[in-house]
Chains A and B, each alone.
Chain A
Amino acid sequence: MARPCAVVGIGQTQYKRRRDDLSLDGLVREAALRALDDAQITFADIDAIVLGKAPDALEGVIMPELSLADALGAVGKPIHRVHTAGSVGASTAISAAVLVESGRYDTVLTVTYEKQSEGNATWALSGGKSGGQGAGGTFAPWIREYIRRSQAPEHIGWMVAVKDRRNALKNPYAHLHLEDISIETVRESPMLWDPLHFLESCPSSDGAAAMVMCAQDKVSRSPHPPAWVLGHAKRTEFSSFPGRDTVKPQAGVDCAAALYREVGITDPRRQIDVAELYVPFSWYEPMWLEGHLIAEEGEGWKMTDEGATALTGDFPVNCSGGVLSSNPIGASGMIRCLEAANQVRGTAGDYQVDGAKVALGHAYGGAAQYFAMWIVSSEQQPEFN
């Protein structure tokens, strides 16, 4: 049976438009060394490494596990590389957990990164051709369809944009620190893809994120509290086919249902204390609240509107500032997973949710067709009632 696995080390780089002080090697090492330091171990204690990032064309380096092997202390060890589009950061975290849970590897280092400033993501999304519509252009029609179905008022998107950026002010690693953000500045920022304004969209960031995960009998080696991985799930569906619900994709529903079933959660809104959801465009907060069964259909935007998803609300979402505040694409999903771990370890600093015991980390990718989620807890076997 699956062996318990815990996160015992977390490392993040400073996220920035361009990390002009670092090479790719230096970028991944900044995160990896911080994770090792947090776990109070060294590269010598690592049994295997799992690397994740979005397309190779973002930096023009093919199979970067090869050229980063030395930098990550992987020489003589197993290293493999995950790529599942935007969900890759969370997929990589899950892949690393599987290494431990399988019983084969005791201590695993997992690292994800993107150095977006080396290339251009919209160029890559367009396949290198003119006329690329970008991720926002793909998602905008689905967001409009969500608004049509749910009758949500237009200020919901602005509220999410403001909330996440205000949360980011408490996170020293965050790329965007927009001191003067307000509903008005979001509303008045340029319209990029109706209904998405500039300030409702994620930035383009350089950055890396890393975790050390280990088996139960290695947990005590590290001084800080562990975050136990209670369960994880992934689901994929085709990008387009007649009958596809792009607003509430079935793969997202199935992924959440499988995860909650595995962990024993029956009422996610009540039983999960805090969530880090992959929200690259503001409206995806209410859409994933519904799409992952946290809110009833048509009710997600009301949670946002009522402040339930604020840091002080009953279901805080993206206390770290989320993808809207830092977006090194390949790492963005892992950041969600490790911020969930930060919350249950009590290491979330100024954006800590008091008493957080159970946290959800989530990412999606492609045409909202790849989903990867995990739930971590301060307790190995928490009671859900």
Chain B
Amino acid sequence: MRLWWNQPRMAELPEIDFTLEYPYTRTTGPIIGPFLTGLRDGRILGTRVGDRVVCPPVEYDPATGATIGPEHLVEVGPAGTVDAWTWVAEPTSKHPFDHPFAFAQIKLDGADTTMLHAVDAGSIEKMTTGMRVVVRYHDDGLGTITDVHFVPGDVPPAMPRPAAAGDADPEPVAITEHLIGVRIREPLQPHRRRFLQGLSVGRILGQRSPADGKIHVPSRGYDAINRVPMTEADDVEVADRGTVTSFTEITPVQYHGQTETEPYIRCSILLDGADTTIGGIDIRDIPIDEFRVGLRLQMIWNDAVGRGEVRFDDVDNRSYGLTEAVYERWEPTGEPDVDPELVKEHNF
């Protein structure tokens, strides 16, 4: 479908760089709630389990699974002894400090078990097994385990307990928030790279299975039915027009990261010459009551393709969809509809 260009210029393709991120809200229950409330307000709680005090506290006897209620909570600390430790020379983005520090097992005074936490010791030379450490409460406690850290020494926190200092009695911690982000960085897979580069110069590439000749668009780089990988030698070009095989009108559900607000159509199209459908195609300018399975559509490439100026800002290795970076819209061709019965096996 070489439509507009004289000297095709393939787009630069960035590496995939994506963060799977969500701000989780954890309800804390009858034991963790008071424990986190304590950290926010300036006290550390453990649980009495038989003749031992366990800290951090647990909702059940770790040995038998028997339930242990909040009436067994007792205060421990604020200082304790390091049982074992490691020195984190190069903190990750998930660690509580951006400078080197220690993670340690700390046996707080009054507790019989250790708690894992961070010790801001300055240098590894300051760390020894058996050393004394003491808690430091943060001014801006949110009701999470990161409301505190530990420092070498035995001196109780100098600042007053936030709860003691505050006027109002704050609500106990019922929910603790944890923003989790996993950053994914990877190259585009080879078949995906060629597919996107093809798009950038106005060509839609599929792959012909060496096993059964079926043409996969967009290809996933393999033919699952016959369990064969596909290579560049299997690349073929297909048409930029096809038949609607399936569609949904999406009423966007709001969630973290969702930017859609208005209803729109999402459809699958069987391109002429292809044996698999391209799914996830967004349709914004054909009325829903005119949209139907069997409708013939033509892709209208955008000007960037003609000018050789396609930019792919957000790429991924997922196998569905044609990126909006190359098309303006899809337009009915005016051809008669294809009988839905003929495309019913493509309604994914």
In-complex A–B contact (CB below 8 Å): yes
Q: A262 near B: Cβ within 8 Å?
A: no
Q: A141 near B: Cβ within 8 Å?
A: yes
Checking B257, B280, B345 against A123 with a beta-carbon cut-off of 8 angstroms, the contacting residue is B257
Least distance between B13 CB and chain A CB atoms (Å): 18
**Could you tell me if B178 and A60 are in contact, using CB atoms closer than 8 angstroms?**
yes
**B20, B30, B224, B282 pick with most chain A CB within 10 angstroms:** B20
Answer whether A73 and B64 are a contact pair too, CB < 8 Å, given A118-B26, A244-B348: yes
Which residues in A have their C-beta under 8 angstroms from that of B15? Answer: none
A130 to B324, CA, bound (A): 14
Which residues in B have their C-beta under 8 angstroms from that of A22? Answer: 27, 29
Q: B129 near A: Cβ within 8 Å?
A: no
B275 nearest in chain A by CB position: A242
Q: B260 near A: Cβ within 8 Å?
A: yes
Checking B29, B249, B259, B276 against A194 with a beta-carbon cut-off of 8 angstroms, the contacting residue is B249
Least distance between A16 CB and chain B CB atoms (Å): 11
Q: Which of A1-9, A89-97, A233-241, A341-349 contacts B (4 or more CB under 8 A)?
A: A233-241
Q: B99 near A: Cβ within 8 Å?
A: no
Contacting A at CB under 8 A, from B230-272, are: 246-253, 255-260, 266, 268
Query: Number of residue pairs across A and B with beta carbons under 8 Å?
Result: 155
**Could you tell me if B27 and A20 are in contact, using CB atoms closer than 8 angstroms?**
yes
Q: A172 near B: Cβ within 8 Å?
A: no
Q: A25 near B: Cβ within 8 Å?
A: yes
**Could you tell me if A60 and B180 are in contact, using CB atoms closer than 8 angstroms?**
yes
Q: Which of A158-166, A185-193, A282-290, A310-318 contacts B (4 or more CB under 8 A)?
A: A185-193
Checking A120, A133, A191 against B256 with a beta-carbon cut-off of 8 angstroms, the contacting residue is A120
**Could you tell me if A23 and B32 are in contact, using CB atoms closer than 8 angstroms?**
yes
Q: A180 near B: Cβ within 8 Å?
A: no
Answer whether A21 and B346 are a contact pair too, CB < 8 Å, given A26-B59, A242-B214: no
Q: B139 near A: Cβ within 8 Å?
A: no
**Could you tell me if B251 and A191 are in contact, using CB atoms closer than 8 angstroms?**
yes
Which residues in A have their C-beta under 8 angstroms from that of B288? Answer: 194
Answer whether A118 and B25 are a contact pair too, CB < 8 Å, given A43-B64, A190-B251: yes
**Could you tell me if A33 and B67 are in contact, using CB atoms closer than 8 angstroms?**
yes
**Could you tell me if B276 and A71 are in contact, using CB atoms closer than 8 angstroms?**
no
Checking A70, A122, A142 against B255 with a beta-carbon cut-off of 8 angstroms, the contacting residue is A122
**Could you tell me if A246 and B257 are in contact, using CB atoms closer than 8 angstroms?**
no
Checking B256, B276, B318 against A127 with a beta-carbon cut-off of 8 angstroms, the contacting residue is B318
Q: B347 near A: Cβ within 8 Å?
A: yes
Main SS at interface, chain B: mixed
Answer whether A130 and B29 are a contact pair too, CB < 8 Å, given A57-B22, A60-B180, A239-B348: no
Please tell me the size bucket of the interface on A. Answer: 35 or more
Main SS at interface, chain A: loop
> Could you give, for residues 143-159 of chain A, a 1 whenever the CB lies within 8 Å of some chain B CB and a 0 otherwise?
00100110000000000
Q: A103 near B: Cβ within 8 Å?
A: no
> Could you give, for residues 277-299 of chain B, a 1 whenever the CB lies within 8 Å of some chain A CB and a 0 otherwise?
10110100000100001000000
Which residues in B have their C-beta under 8 angstroms from that of A18? Answer: 27
Q: B52 near A: Cβ within 8 Å?
A: no
B274 nearest in chain A by CB position: A242
**Could you tell me if A130 and B67 are in contact, using CB atoms closer than 8 angstroms?**
no
B65 nearest in chain A by CB position: A73
A128 to B347, CA, bound (A): 25
Q: A132 near B: Cβ within 8 Å?
A: yes
**Could you tell me if A192 and B251 are in contact, using CB atoms closer than 8 angstroms?**
yes
Answer whether A70 and B178 are a contact pair too, CB < 8 Å, given A128-B257, A133-B250, A241-B276: no
Answer whether A246 and B348 are a contact pair too, CB < 8 Å, given A26-B29, A29-B59: yes
Q: B63 near A: Cβ within 8 Å?
A: yes
Which residues in A have their C-beta under 8 angstroms from that of B276? Answer: 240-242
A225 to B330, CA, bound (A): 62
Q: B4 near A: Cβ within 8 Å?
A: no
Q: B156 near A: Cβ within 8 Å?
A: no
Which residues in B have their C-beta under 8 angstroms from that of A75? Answer: 62-63
A254 to B47, CA, bound (A): 53
Least distance between B199 CB and chain A CB atoms (Å): 19
Which residues in A have their C-beta under 8 angstroms from that of B346? Answer: 242
Q: B135 near A: Cβ within 8 Å?
A: no
Which residues in A have their C-beta under 8 angstroms from that of B348? Answer: 239-240, 244, 246, 367
Checking A70, A118, A191, A244 against B62 with a beta-carbon cut-off of 8 angstroms, the contacting residue is A70
A-B contact pairs, 24 of them (CB 8 A): A20-B175, A23-B27, A26-B30, A29-B60, A59-B24, A60-B24, A122-B253, A123-B255, A123-B256, A123-B258, A128-B18, A133-B250, A137-B266, A141-B246, A141-B268, A145-B344, A149-B344, A193-B250, A194-B248, A239-B348, A240-B277, A240-B279, A242-B275, A243-B345
